[in-house]
Amino acid sequence: MLKVNEIRQDRVIEWFEEVQGDQRFYTLVFVSYGKCVYWVNQTKLILEKGDGLLIPFGTPYYAKSIPSVFHEKYVFTFLPREGDNRLEILGGLSPVRLKIGSFDWTIDRMRTIVEEREDKTWLAEIRAESILAEVLVVWSRERQQGPVSAAVDYHAQRMKDYIQEYYREKITKEELGAHIGRSPNYAASLFRRATGQTISEYVHVTRMKKAVYLLKDSLLTVGEISEMLGYRDVSYFNRLFKKTTGRNPSDYTRER
């Protein structure tokens, strides 16, 4: 687990920030839209959509927006707890920049942290620490494996598009393999490599996003939504929804 100091979501056109070298915290930046500029150890880094940056503690940096360019990013400052030195990504003194392959997964996790903190959800701080640790683990794996190739990214996007269209049905690695002209096991491995999620995890998350929308903006019951999304067992749907979103479906229906 990590001790989180600050969490913020920036949606700005004009912005700048300067941090001296006496700060005690690591800084993690994830750009979800647009671009901005960081100077770290006098090195200029232009961060664009899908870029992650980890700045070690005690490292001075200066950052600003690019004139007239809107950008959105998530910024976390944190301290490792005992045992977190096992994360290789935290072991160096130089900044770490990554092009994040698991973009969709990362943005979902970071949005969850921000939303629960803003809503003052019970135990939101503890969940934020565990999610941030999970993000660092996934980023560490991506760094070890190297950047995702254009071909891998292309096939992963085709599979994601297929899931977005047929998410209410049972989707197997055999179907996705046939869709991209590859073997089932290769398709499953490629998908996880590119997204940080298994096919099943991605399908469930896609369904849960739709469930949130329906719970907020429709008059359907929880049972009807469960059935519509392919879950005949409502209790299983409830458990999965709580695990994915941190809330119960009934929390949303009460807010209608």
Domain shared by 130 and 7, yes or no: yes
Same domain, 139 and 38: yes
Shared domain check, 95 and 12: yes
* Domain of residue 243, CATH code: 1.10.10.60
Are residues 223 and 176 both part of a single domain? no
Q: Which of 35-44, 117-126, 146-155 has the highest mean pLDDT?
A: 35-44
Q: What is the CATH number of the domain that holds 15?
A: 2.60.120.280
Phi, psi at residue 6, to the nearest 5°? -140, 145
Provide the mean pLDDT of the chain: 92
The residues near 175 (Cβ < 8 Å, ≥ 6 apart) are: 162
Structure pTM?
0.81
Task: Identify whether the C-beta of residue 73 lies closer than 8 Å to the C-beta of residue 29.
Answer: yes
CA distance 165 to 35: 30
- Residues 55 and 101 both lie in one domain: yes
Same domain, 165 and 219: no
Structure tokens at 228: 């519509």
Highest mean predicted confidence (pLDDT) among 86-95, 145-154, 218-227: 218-227
Say if residue 115 is in the same domain as residue 87: yes
**Residue 152 pLDDT exceeds 70:** yes
Pairs from 215-220 (Cβ < 8 Å, separation ≥ 24): 215/249, 215/252, 215/253, 216/252, 216/255, 216/256, 219/256
pLDDT-derived band of residue 169, with 50, 70 and 90 as boundaries?
A: very high
Cβ–Cβ < 8 Å for 177, 171: no
Which residue range(s) make up the domain with 188?
Answer: 150-196
User: pLDDT tens for residues 97-140?
Assistant: 999 988 989 999 999 999 888 888 888 999 999 999 999 999 99
Q: Are residues 91 and 156 in the same domain?
A: no
Question: Into how many domains does the chain fold?
Answer: 3
CA dist 21 to 8, 42, 91, 127, 128, Å? 21, 12, 18, 29, 26
Q: Examine the pLDDT at 8 and tell me if it is beyond 80.
A: yes
